[in-house]
Amino acid sequence: MNVWMLFIIAVAAAAGIIIKYIWDIPTEDTFPHKILYRCVYLYGVISYTAARLMGYVNGRCLASNYYTFLMSFAPNPRESPAGSDVAIDATEFDGVKVRQYRNRRFMDQGLRPAFVFIHGGGYVVGSPALYDGVLTKICRVLGFYVAAIHYPLAPEGKFPKAFDECLKACSWFLRNASEFSVDQDRVVISGDSAGGQIAASVVQALCKSPSIPKPKAQVLMYPCLQFLDLRTPSYQRTRWLHGEQPGILNHITLSIFLSFYLFGREDSRFIKAVSANTHVSDEVRRSEQLKRLDHDLIPKEFKGPTYRPPNININNNKMNTEDHQGNALWSECKDLLLDYRLSPLMGDLEGLPNTYVITCGVDILRDDGVLYCQHLEKAGVKVTHKHYVESFHGIIAFPRTIIPSSTVMRKDLFTFLRQEV
């Protein structure tokens, strides 16, 4: 047997192992895009594992290596092709770097609406250029001026630096919108995932300031809106499916990213407590303050057979009584975790603008969006909630041709922007 034959056998064996691994990744029985979801999950496992291994070699932290690994596979930021309707370039809003998209057809046709976007990535990864597809289309099809904010990532950009920079940029832009041929009364603040959290917090801050024009609307795409309860039905379902394996966004990866964002480091005690949902004191869990997170507010259709009430914990696919050990840690972290700049679900919701919320069927953050919509409506805010059962976290950045629900999601968003802005 020659060397080439051995090589072919080895490659075939490796491919077989990978295919078997992908095939064995659990998914929702009714989810139609199982192969795509499994590939995304595998990519998440590889990214996390690679970042860990890189740390042993270069001595850098997980967040830095995670950024390096993921962004090495990201497409290079594209420039505006000759003859394109959309001009893409860089600018600054009060010293904050911004990637802007301008429709050449509308530059001399009066004031236009604007779409300001804050990207996701768990506070540790991501960039505006990753969203060129959807942002360019908002500019080209709808004629919006689009601006995507570069904000400092963790671990260097510790809380509340990302919030502060985004608030600074949005405040300046609302005051100076006319310089960009934008109507200051038709500005949308938007974000996805962690960027959705920052966007929601920024909008709350803007609405508290009498000297700044208010945004016309906010668009929150599968946002994380609180870090006080990691046992909502959507968290439970993901844990039941995948256990403790970091792949897609789950309670483990979220806890790690949050640790880097809050402390600039991987705090093992904090990560262990948050991922086990034991970081909040017993007294606070029973308080009026956390009634906004009451699971009874979540519709029954979102509570499948794997759901258990809050006093029950899912651990390694087994049901156990939850053991709260969070009193000491809570005293250290409560001011951070209850701060509206981190947990907008706990903020003042009255007087907020028209709100459009996107949630996905396969996503630990689904219930954050569901609860936010309910409390916004109670506060008298106009809310549109679009739930996509056949979608998963992060899908807005995917090419729309990969998964049909991404196309539907974009069409619905464009309809909202046309009609409401």
d(CA 237, CA 316): 12
Instruction: For residue 113, give the nearest of 90, 143, 149 by alpha carbon.
Output: 143
E strand or H helix that includes residue 93? strand 86-93
Cis peptide before 309 (omega within 30 of 0): no
Annotated catalytic, 193?
Answer: yes
Which residue has tokens 């995948």?
242
Dihedral, CA of residue 117, residue 290, residue 274 and residue 198, to nearest 10? 10
Closest CA to 359 of 385, 377, 378: 385
| Per-residue H/E/C for 200-212 | HHHHHHHHHCCCC
From the candidates 193, 201, 234, 343, give the one annotated as an active-site residue.
193
| Amino acid sitting at position 38 | R
If we measure between CA atoms, which residue out of 373, 382, 301, 315 comes closest to residue 344? 373
Determine the Cα–Cα distance for residues 198 and 120; give it in Å rounded to an integer.
Answer: 9
Active site residue 29: no
Q: Residue 34: enclosing H or E segment and its boundaries?
A: helix 34-58
* Secondary structure E strands in 182-310: 182-192, 217-221
Q: Can you tell me the distance from the alpha carbon of 350 to that of 353, in angstroms, rounded to the nearest whole number?
A: 9
372-378-384 Cα angle (round to 5): 55
**Pick the catalytic residue: 132, 363, 367, 368?**
363
Of 234, 393, 405, 406, the active-site residue reads 393
For the question of residue 393 being annotated catalytic, the response is yes
Q: Which residues pair with 192 in a beta bridge?
A: 221
Short-list 193, 139, 188, CA closest to 392: 193
C-alpha dist (Å) from residue 305 to 114, 232, 254, 301: 43, 13, 24, 10
Tokens representing 345 are 């679900």
Burial class (CB in 10 A: 0-12, 13-18, 19+), 206: buried
The answer to whether 268 and 262 are in contact (CB under 8 A) is no
Cβ atoms 396, 369 nearer than 8 A: no
- How many angstroms separate the CA atoms of 206 and 251, rounded? 30
Active site residue ranges = 193, 363, 393
